[in-house]
């Protein structure tokens, strides 16, 4: 399970690196992914209540 998650994170980062041309663009892409992770974790916490 951990290997699958790690592979998914690596894939997302690789796509983000390919999709942006600057460090600023990479930071924005990474921020977007971070927002998705936070939203997903919030959803999981709400479902567990």
pLDDT tens digit sequence for 30-41: 888 888 888 888
Q: Any residues with CB less than 8 A from the CB of 17 and at least 6 apart, and which?
A: 26
Contact 16, 33 (CB under 8 A): yes
For the entire predicted model, the pTM comes to 0.48
CA dist., res. 23 & res. 49, Å (int): 39
Instruction: Tell me, rounded to whole angstroms, the distance of Cα 25 from its chain centroid.
Output: 14
3-state secondary structure of 5: helix
Per-residue tokens: 21:
């041309």
Percentage with pLDDT > 70 across the chain: 88
Residue 19: what pLDDT? 65
């Amino acid at each position: 399970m951990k290997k699958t998650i790690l592979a998914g994170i690596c894939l997302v980062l690789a796509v983000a690196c390919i999709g942006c041309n600057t460090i600023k663009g990479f930071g924005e892409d990474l921020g977007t992914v971070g927002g998705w992770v936070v939203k997903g974790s919030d959803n999981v916490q709400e479902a567990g209540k």
